[in-house]
A and B are shown apart, each in its own frame.
Chain A
Amino acid sequence: MDNSRRSFLKIAGVSALGLGGVSGLSAMIPGPVIAEQGTSAPLYKDTQKALTAGRWGMVVDTRKLSRSLCEKMVAACHKAHNVPDHDHERHTIKWIWTDGFEHIFPGKDDEYLPERLNNLPILSLCNQCNNPPCVQACPTKATFQREDGIVMMDFHRCIGCRFCMAACPYGSRSFNFRDPRPAIDEENPDFPTRMKGVVEKCNFCAERLAEGKMPACVEVSEGALVFGDLEDPKSEIRKVLRENYAIRRKQSLGTNPSVYYII
């Protein structure tokens, strides 16, 4: 079933590319990029530098997290993706942020939790679920899952119904309740800004992977984040998971997150 859905989503992804084929989107698709107009077939060509995987995953090593490190990672992501900084609480947009252990892992809260965890900020981001409820809920396939597991948004197709936000059990999605552009401090021209009325979230830096770069947060994580191919037994992330017991958020819901936490 997983396979047939994957191939279905692959078609969805390709059609998203074809129909919503705007320059902003093309920059976010790794591997194949849209060839310049006027050139002969093939329409898509593989970039040599792109990082590829069977299924991208991340390990958050909470033992290496500190408040200042987390702030650095959040800032790097939000700067790279033109995430606006609204001063109004209700209009908040965030792709990656920190929260306490009892909020990241509701139900795992414990009176006798080690002291370290009581004050530790833990990173929260889109889990890039392998069985994503947001993709199931989206009525236009504006949210879709790629071959490599990344759950992406087509900002040009999203109608802003926010069904995906209700479907996400991790609160990982944000909605542009107003025009985000005036609230961007310093615009990064390499990534599209959004408009009001669409949903957005972490995309595992698909646009950076396409250029052979690691995700922005991973790059500044000083080893606290391990990013790699979950399907490759020889990858570093698999080595880390072999050697450490790691948990995932709300695993009982069956969403099959691709983000692991070493506590």
Chain B
Amino acid sequence: MLEKAFKGSRAYWIWLLALLAVIGVGFGFYLRQLNFGLGITGMSRDVSWGFYIAQFTFLVGVAASAVMLVIPYYLHDYKKFGKITVLGEFLAVSSVIMCLLFIIADLGQPMRLFNVLIHPTPHSMLFWDMIVLNGYLLLNIVIGWNVLEAERNEIPPPQWVKPLIYLSIPWAISIHTVTAFLYCGLPGRGFWLTAVLAPRFLASAFAAGPAFLILLAFIVRRFTNFDAGREQIQTLAKIVTYGALANLFFFLCEVFVAVYSQIPEHTAHLQYLFFGLHGHDVLVPWMWTSIFLMLAAITLLVIPTARRNEAVLGVACVAIFIGIWIDKGLGMISGGFIPNPLHHVSEYVPTFPEIMITIAIYATGFLVLTILYKVVVGVKQEIGE
């Protein structure tokens, strides 16, 4: 099936070359980082995780959201999703690849990466994150590829794929749960020390992931003759709506606990993010933008007539995606480090090389995604869908 990725229009090849160019530039900056050390980033002794780990966290959510297609199709027999489930699975594949690249980009000694395997340490959450992420990657490649191949041959998928599909459902939940456990099990980091972190991660993932999938479906429809289907997109839109509402609810629970209890270790971080602390406030406009985008998108999504209009739906999905990206990709990680455990405020702003490396990793993800989607669309055209 991979041969379908080698036959494409001019636009397809220009897009791939453009992505490769971005990757090349970013890789140049990565070589600089390898040579100098992580000192070329904006990270510091106080904010020891930055943009890379934040993108990783955000993308684990996008990856996990494939389950929002798998559950309706395989558990509720919602046949309509059969057409697009593989799009969700391949989005998961490219997202997990980006996650792994972000982790590697964040390591001080990447050549020692395999120490995690050589010295397995089950009491470290990072050990489990390695297992669940790589397992999820493998599951989605195997499931997506075999189901698509069966579809191409117009036969049912092999029997042994079924148990893997059922396994992929709790596995999807586990990747974002373990990712939340990286943060919420740490003493002395009041912002993350909350049982609602994993549920909130999942809720925001189930909003941002399907929102992104809707946008991808629009793009695929525009550039190819494959249509994900109006009803499918509308069902996804409802999932986005529930996800966004659940995320907002969990966030407000979080705010209530911190603000009403008035425990300084918990309020200080929220105060920093939304109002600034001791005169430091770089994230304040971003955080309010995030809140505004999410509220605006929810308003559009809960009104049925607005949601059913695909132009409005597109706008709402962009707003959801950016709003949650700011929340998780900017605020969630630095917010936990500021103020630091000694109640000093050192702010964090990513540097230019750091942003370039980040963009290159995203470009790598899009490259994988483009190739996988090209194969999917090629197969769908071949069987005349």
A interface residues (Cβ-Cβ under 8 A, vs B)? 15, 19, 88-94, 99, 102-104, 106-107, 124, 133, 136-142, 157-163, 165-171, 174-179, 195-199, 250, 253-255
How far, in Å, is A194 (CB) from chain B's closest CB?
Answer: 11
Instruction: Decide yes or no whether B115 CB sits under 8 A from chain A.
Output: yes
Residues of B within 8 A of A195 (CB): 109
**What are 23 A-B pairs with beta-carbon distances under 8 A?**
A102-B343, A103-B344, A133-B186, A133-B188, A139-B121, A139-B126, A142-B115, A159-B109, A159-B110, A161-B107, A161-B108, A162-B49, A163-B124, A166-B186, A171-B340, A175-B45, A177-B37, A178-B37, A179-B36, A196-B39, A197-B37, A253-B187, A254-B187
Contacts of B342 in A (CB 8 A): 99, 103-104, 106, 124, 170-171
Interchain CB contact under 8 A, A141 and B45 = no
A94–B45 Cα distance when bound, in Å, is 10
Chain A: minimal CB distance from B323 (Å) = 25
Determine the residue in chain B with the shortest Cβ distance to A106: B343
Closest Cβ–Cβ distance, residue B269 to chain A (whole Å): 13
Q: Report the Cα distance A196→B215, complex, angstroms.
A: 42
Per-position binary interface string of chain B over residues 334-364, scored 1 when its CB falls under 8 Å from any chain A CB and 0 otherwise:
0011001111100000000000000000000
Are B45 and A159 in contact (CB-based, < 8 A)?
no
Quick check: B343 and A161 within 8 Å, CB to CB?
no
Does B182 make an interface contact (CB < 8 A)? yes
Q: How far is the CA of A182 from the CA of B113 in the complex (A)?
A: 26
In the complex the two chains form, is B115's CB within 8 Å of A255's CB?
no
> Are B188 and A168 interface neighbours, CB within 8 A?
yes
Known: A141-B121, A158-B108, A174-B45. A163 touches B182 (CB 8 A): yes
Given contacts A99-B342, A139-B121, contact A177 B39 (CB under 8 A): yes
B42 near A90 (CB under 8 angstroms)?
yes
- The A contact surface, by secondary structure, is loop
**Is B43's CB within 8 Å of the partner chain A?**
yes
Q: How long is the Cα–Cα vector from A255 to B341 in the complex, in angstroms?
A: 14
Let me know if B43 and A177 touch, CB within 8 A: yes
CB neighbours (8 Å) of A170 from chain B are 188, 341-342
Separation of A162 and B126 alpha carbons in the complex (Å) = 11
Main SS of chain B's interface residues? Answer: loop
Establish whether residues A103 and B124, one from each chain, have CB atoms under 8 Å apart when the complex forms: no
Q: 0/1 per residue, B11-46, Cβ < 8 Å to A?
A: 000000000000000000000000011110111111
Contacts A90-B44, A141-B121, A169-B187; A158 near B341 (Cβ below 8 A): no
Nearest neighbor of A99 in chain B, beta-carbon distance: B342
Smallest beta-carbon distance A19→chain B, Å? 8
- Closest chain A residue, CB of each to CB of B343: A106
Residue of B nearest to A199 (CB): B108
Given A139-B127, A140-B118, 10 more contacts at CB 8 Å? A90-B43, A104-B342, A133-B188, A139-B121, A139-B124, A159-B113, A165-B45, A179-B36, A195-B109, A196-B36
Per a CB cutoff under 8 Å, which of A89, A158, A176, A253 touches B188?
A253
> Bound complex: CA of A195 vs CA of B144, how far in Å?
43
Chain A proximity of B90: nearest CB distance (Å): 28
A22 to chain B minimum Cβ distance, whole angstroms, is 14
CA A221 to CA B182, docked complex, whole Å = 39
B189 close to A (CB within 8 Å): yes
Contact B37–A140 (Cβ < 8 Å): no
Q: Which of A165, A254, A255 has the most CB of B within 10 A?
A: A165
How far apart are B36's CB and chain A's nearest CB, in angstroms?
6
Give Cα A162 to B36, complex, Å.
17
Q: Across the interface, name the chain A residue whose C-beta is closest to B182.
A: A163
Q: Name the distance in Å between A198's Cβ and chain B's nearest Cβ.
A: 6
A160 to B39, CA, bound (A): 13
Question: In the complex, which residues of chain B have a beta carbon less than 8 angstroms from the beta carbon of A142?
Answer: 115
- Alpha-carbon distance between A139 and B39 when the two chains are bound, in angstroms: 22
Contact yes or no, A136 B112, CB < 8 A: no
**Those 10 A-B pairs whose CB atoms lie nearest each other, nearest first:** A160-B108, A169-B188, A197-B108, A177-B39, A196-B37, A139-B126, A90-B44, A178-B39, A139-B124, A165-B48
- Please tell me if B123 contacts chain A, counting CB pairs below 8 Å: yes
Which residues of chain A have C-beta atoms less than 8 A from B336's C-beta? 166
A15-B118 Cα distance, complex, nearest whole Å: 12
Does B230 interact with chain A (Cβ within 8 Å)?
Answer: no
Contact residues in A for B130 (Cβ distance below 8 Å): 139
- Which residue of A90, A138, A176, A179 is within 8 Å of B124 (Cβ)? A138
Contact pick for A255, options B37, B187, B340, CB 8 Å? B187
| Contact of B108 with A159 in the complex, beta carbons under 8 Å | yes
B125 at the interface (CB under 8 A from A): yes
Complex CA gap A15/B110 in Å reads 22
Contacting pair B39 A159 (CB below 8 A): no
Q: Which residues of B contact A160 (CB under 8 A)?
A: 38, 107-109, 112
What's the minimum C-beta distance from A170 to chain B, rounded to whole angstroms? 6
Q: For B126, what are the chain A residues with a Cβ–Cβ distance below 8 Å? A: 137, 139, 161, 163
A139→B116 contact, CB < 8 A: yes
CB < 8 Å neighbour of B115 from A88, A89, A107, A140: A140
